[in-house]
Structures are given as C-alpha cells and as structure tokens.
Structure 1
Amino acid sequence: MRNDFANVARILLSGAIAVALTGCATILPGSGPSNDDVVAQSSYPGFQRYEVIDINSSVLDILRHREADSFLAHFGDYRPSVEPKIGVGDTVSVTIWEAGAGGLFSAPLVSDRFSTGSKSSTIPDQIVGRDGSISVPYAGRVRVAGRTTQEVQIIVERALAGKAIEPQVLINMPRSVSNSVTVTGEVANGARVPLSVRGDRVMDVIATAGGIRAPVNETYVQLSRGRETVRVAMTRVSADPRENIFMRPNDVLTLIRDPQTFIAYGATGRNAEIPFDAEGISLSQALAKAGGLLDFRSDPAGVFVFRFEPESVVRALNPNTTIAAPHQLTPVVYRLNLRDAASLFVAQGFRIQNRDLLYVSNAPITDAQKVMEVVGLISGPTTTGLAAYSFVK
C-alpha cells in the first residue's frame, strides 16, 4: 500500500513538472513580449504588421533629415505683406477737397468776414455693404471692395469731375475687419488683430494678442489659411526666422498647449507617462528619466521605441517595405542593443518624439526564474507528501 502511494506521488510530481515546463510560455505572467517575440511577431505569413529597424548611425542620419511640418514649406509666404484692400464690413471715411469756395463740398465765400470758406467736406464713416459699395454724394454707389484706398480715390475723383471744383479725394479705413487675423487658444487676449500696412509676422500677431500663456516648449502654433491647416512647434517658429512668415487677411492662428511626453514600459525603473520637461530629449535621456534598466529583469539587447512614421521616412529606412502607403502613418519599432558599447553614442543621437512608447523587454533568465517558481509551487505539496511518507515508513 505504501509503495503504491509513493509511486503515485512520484508520477504526480513528474507530471506537474512536465506541465509546468511545457506550458510556461502561455501561463507565466509578464510585462510584455520578449526581444525575440517583438521581431518574430512583426509579420505573419503573407502579412506585415510593422517594421523593425535596428538603430545605427545610418538610421540617425535619415531621421535627422526627416521633413517636419513647416509654415514655409506649406504656404511659401516669406514675402512682405501686400497693400491691404478694402473688404465687406470695413469702415471707410471719405474726405473731399475742392480748389475753390462755393462748390459742392466747399462753403461759399463770405467777404464781410474775410473768410474764403472751407474747401473740404468729410462724409460720415460708412461700413462697406454686402454689395461691396459705399455711397458718395453726387457720385452714387461706388464699389470699393477688393480695391486699395488709392484706387478708390481715383474712382471717386473721376466720378466727381465736372461736378465739383477740381476735386481731390482722401480715402481712409479707420477700422478694417477684412484685413485682420483671428488669434485664439493659449494667448493672453484672444482677439481679431488688424494687420498693418508694413506687414505682420506670426510672432508679431501673437505679441499683439498679449503673448502665450503656456510654456514655449509645450506650445504649438496652428495656422489655418483657406482649406489648409498646419501645426508647427512654437520653439521652431521662434528659433527659425524662415518659419516666422507674414500673416494674410482672414488667417486663423490657434495656439495649442500639448505637453511633450513619452511612455516608459517594461523592465525600466519607472513605468509611467513621463514629460520631456525640455524642448526635446534623446533616447539616453529618456532611459534616465524612466529610471534606467532594471539589473535583475531587463534585456539590454531589447530596448525598443514604438512609433508611427510617415511613408517618406519608412521608405528611406527600408526601400523594400510592403506596408508604407501614401498619406498614412506606418507602425515602426526601433531596436537598440545596449550590449554594444557603441550603442551608447547612438542613443544620444536618437531623438524621442511626442507620444513615443519606450519598451524594455525582460531578459531570458527572468522567464527561467519564473518557471522554477511555478515548479516549486506545484511540486511543493507532493514533495511534502513524499517526505511524510518516508518519515512514517
């Protein structure tokens, strides 16, 4: 009877160990895929899921020349502002002078008061109507929309020729709605800012609106012109004069606060969403902010950065890619092997982008340790039974 019990116990122990060893890949807890899993799972038969790119000096050179969003590239507007034109809704004033007294717009001569009379008359301010016109006495409705003040002066003078005494006309725009830009978002005073004749750049308009409220390194400038909208980092606009382009009437400038962060995950000292706290950081700085690699868990050869890249970058990294498509972002996994001392220099040149995911895989020995722990949990009761049996025997 006792021999039967011992045999059964030994069979159960062997079976438990076999189950633990064969099923460890699916039952063991973990923080994510291993180094080999990340590479192996990049594609299925006939289907590519993402690109795996090993970080080296060639990759750094390609990423340095990537095309970032640019006001200059999209709008090509690095020129002085054109002379403003009158538009619907603008306020226009008209002043008319005549060469002599007693005309349509001048007072008559009063000899007993030794006065030659006023030779000018100012028409009350008018708002340009929806038809794009204003009214001028003895000239009728004059179309002014889409014309400069000098052009309107000539038109009114010609309309009054033969009616007034050698008329001279001066057109002013006390308030202009059509020659303004809208500034909103993270500014001190959101407003409609009128453009000057000299021309106003992006930074001029932001300053007129009271400046930004958020930190410069967390602010993006979004310019909407017509049907196109482009967003550029505030740090780039302030540092690169070419991006500080001239504004155009009816532009909409929105300042957006978007803190720059990355996510640290896996065998790092800190698993969290971590802010840059700077204009930009490198991969080595990101690893330091994440608490470095855990000595007892991490695989130095399995440092990954998960990111979505545009087609142009993916094709430069891998000309034979099968998943890059126009106007779409492609998932790319960058891999760094920190077992190679030279990779420490590479890590300093690799720039982390907003919303990147930094992942460090577990070392293979970590999974082996977990297997042994599972085996110990399963075999413990059986071993205790065998010991008790031996004692009784």
Structure 2
Amino acid sequence: MLNIFRALAGVLPAAALLILAGCASIPNSGPSADDVAQQAGTAIAQRYEIVDINFSTVDVLRHNGPDSFLSRFADYRPSVEPRIGVGDSISVTIWEAASGGLFSGSLATDRFTAGSKSATIPDQVVGRDGAITVPYAGRIRVAGRTTQDVQTIVENALEGKAIQPQVLINVTRPISNTVTVTGEVANGARVPLSVKGDRVLDVIAAAGGIRAPVNETYVQLSRGPVTARVAMTRVTSDPRENIYLRANDVLTLIRDPQTFIAYGATGRNAEIPFDAEGISLSQALAKSGGLLDSRADPAGVFIFRFEPESVARALRPDSPLNAPGQLTPVVYRLNLRDANSLFVAQSFRVLNRDLLYVSNAPITDIEKALGILSAAMSPAVTAASVCIAARC
C-alpha cells in the first residue's frame, strides 16, 4: 500500500505540471483579455486598434456620428419655386381683348353673341433645346423659367400682332420638378413637387407610405453626387432632418433590421435585434443576458467594429491603419471592474452589425485544467481506495 501512495505522490505533480502547461490548448470560447491586447500587433505590423471606452471616446464618437441630412446637404433653405424644365408638358392659353384677332373667333352672326376671345394651344413637351413653339411668337425658351416669366415673354412677343393679348402658362405634366421614390414604399413613383414645397415625409406619404417597420427602415437621399442615409425614426423624431426636397432628388427606403452579435461569456450567444433605432452598450449587455459570473472577465468586455477613416483618425490620428476610403478595424474595450464604466456604458452607442465579445476570466482555464487533472487521476485514486479497503 505504501508503494501505491509513493507512486501517486510521484505521478500527481508531474501530471499537474503537464496539464497546466497545456492550458493554452484547453477548449475556450475565444481569446482572453490579454490575448486581445497582445494580438493587436506592433507599430510596424498593426492588425487593429484598441480604444478604451471612456467619456472622451464617447464624445469623439458623438461628434462623428451617423449621417445627417441637415449637415450632409447643408440645407437650411426653404423650398424653391418650381421652374420649367426639359420634358415638362406645357399648355398655353391666350386671350384677346376683342373678337376677330389672331386667337379669337370672328364676330358671331347673332348680334347678341360675341365670338370666342381665347384659344388654347395643345400641350407641348419642352424640347431638349428648352423651348416650345407659340404661333406668331416663334420658338420661346422656357427651361429654367417660372410660368410667370414665360407668360410675360409670350405677351411681349405677341404685342402688336394680337389684340391686347393675355397669356396663361400651365405645366400639365411636371417631369423635371419631381422626386423619384423607390424601395420599401407602397407605390414607387416619380412624385411631383408642389409650389408650396415638400419635405421628406411629405413625399413618402405621397408614395403611399412605408411597407417595413419604422425602426427597421432607413431613408437614403441622393442629390447629385452626394448620398446620405438616415434612420426613419430619426427623420420622424427630429424635424430638422425632415428637410425640403429638390427637383431630381432620389429617395430610397431601405429595410435594414438593426442587430448585434453577442459572443463569449454572456448569458446568450446569438444575433440579437435592437428592436429600436439604437441601443447603448448597457442595453446590449442586458439583451445578451449579462456577464456569466462563473466565466466572465469584467475587465474583458469588447466591441469589435469597422470604423470609417474619419472616425478612426479622430480616435487614433497616428494609426498606420488609417487610409482614405477604407474601413479601420477597431476594438473598443470596457473595464466593468471600474464602477464609473457603468455610466460610460450607458452613453456608448452600439451600432448595427457590432460584435459584443466578453472574454473568460483567467481562473476559468485553471478550473478547466484542474477538472481534466481530476478526471485523469480518478482511476488511480479509485484503485488506491480499493486497495486500502482490501488491505493489500
């Protein structure tokens, strides 16, 4: 029996050292907090940037937030008066002061009835030269002008030819003064802009409204070479984002459910929807089931995200990863051992497609190693117990 105990005493330390030395190969859900910091790379071969989540970081991100119609288009102007453009259909009605003129009928045979004093020229489409034809006035350029301007031009052109002419110009089909609405709307269409002016929500309503849930819909506005994308909930809640639209704008409604991925030592590993326009890191942790007491490292809470070059440069001006037009991998780190971080987590916004990762505590690997050691030595211990019982 003494020999058995001596054998166990000799084997146990060696086995323990062997198993503890192999901790790196023990199954794990992901890198530890130290691994995330060490694997970021060097100044020469940088892989990603690590940024601590504090109030300074939150302030930088707030000033480099999502797109805004107001700031992107610098559009504080009210609506503009519509102007005639190429492709519009125009009708021209001309009145004369007396019968018997160019556009009025001859005096009727009935002495009590006067002849017609007006004539309507059939609708014309404004040609590529920006002009329409008016009899006896010739080719009149109308593109870029208001209806009142064109009325004056035609009246002056007919002066001395017609009897005190008065002209009414009407745009019957305004092709050039429209906004194209497409995407997640009930009826995609080319919506004419009114003289009063139309904002983003006015045009969406004219197209039949949206088909997707409001919190999952984004409004994308393209004006010339500039395109901006804003959450529908922001447009509806902030009147400043509900800007006036301009002719030839393209409005696209996009359904994009907002989700983040929770991974690691959290109560729920899954792709989790926001169910709102945006959520804070505190809300994301709550939605993912919080940190597991038995596994999680409170100092190892991370957000993995690709940031635009402008945001990455504001956070790390000297980073070698910053390149125009490219996304920079950034890992945001939160230390929940610090009570103040609970306030910071309420201000840090989680974005669509973010990866929330909580690393295991270092003690977890030791517990796993001891469990493996216990399982490995269990047969020997059992044999020793049997031997003792048998008095061998």
When normalised by structure 1's length, the TM-score is 0.90
TM-superposed CA distance for 1:234, in Å, is 1.4
Letter in 2 for 1:230: A
Letter in 1 for 2:124: Q
Cα distance in 2 between the residues matched to 1:385 and 1:10: 14
TM-superposed CA distance for 1:94, in Å, is 0.6
Q: Provide the residue aligned with 1:280 in structure 2.
A: 278
Letter in 2 for 1:56: N
Q: Does the 8 A contact of 2:187 with 2:208 survive in 1?
A: yes
Secondary structure, counterpart of 1:172 in structure 2: strand
Cα distance in 1 between the residues matched to 2:80 and 2:303: 47
1:115 aligns with 2:124: no
Cα distance in 2 between the residues matched to 1:94 and 1:125: 7
The runs of at least 4 aligned residues of structure 1 exceeding 4 Å deviation read: 4-18, 377-393
Q: Does the 8 A contact of 2:280 with 2:349 survive in 1?
A: yes
Letter in 2 for 1:66: N
Aligned to 1:82, which of 80, 83, 106?
80
Number of corresponding residues: 391
Secondary structure, counterpart of 1:113 in structure 2: coil
Cα distance in 1 between the residues matched to 2:96 and 2:151: 14
Would the alpha carbon gap of residues 5 and 288 (structure 1) be closer, same or farther in structure 2, given more than 3 Å must change? closer
Summarize the alignment of residues 1-393 of structure 1 with structure 2, pairs less than 5 Å apart: 17-25=16-24, 27-44=25-42, 46-110=44-108, 112-380=110-378
Q: Does the 8 A contact of 1:6 with 1:389 survive in 2?
A: no
Q: Render the CA deviation track for 1:212-242: whole Å, top value 9, x for unaligned.
A: 2222222111001112211011122222222
Q: Render the CA deviation track for 1:150-201: whole Å, top value 9, x for unaligned.
A: 2222332233233222222111011111111111112222211100111111
When normalised by structure 2's length, the TM-score is 0.90
Identity %: 70
Letter in 2 for 1:21: L
Cα distance in 2 between the residues matched to 1:323 and 1:219: 32
Q: Does the 8 A contact of 2:20 with 2:366 survive in 1?
A: no
Letter in 2 for 1:81: S
TM-superposed CA distance for 1:380, in Å, is 4.8
**Unaligned 5+ residue runs, structure 2?**
none
Cα distance in 2 between the residues matched to 1:320 and 1:141: 62
TM-superposed CA distance for 1:248, in Å, is 0.9
Cα distance in 1 between the residues matched to 2:63 and 2:131: 51
Q: Does the 8 A contact of 1:48 with 1:323 survive in 2?
A: yes
Q: Does the 8 A contact of 1:9 with 1:385 survive in 2?
A: no
Q: Render the CA deviation track for 1:307-362: whole Å, top value 9, x for unaligned.
A: 22233433443444332233332222111111222222222222211111111100
Q: CA RMSD in A?
A: 2.8
**Unaligned 5+ residue runs, structure 1?**
none
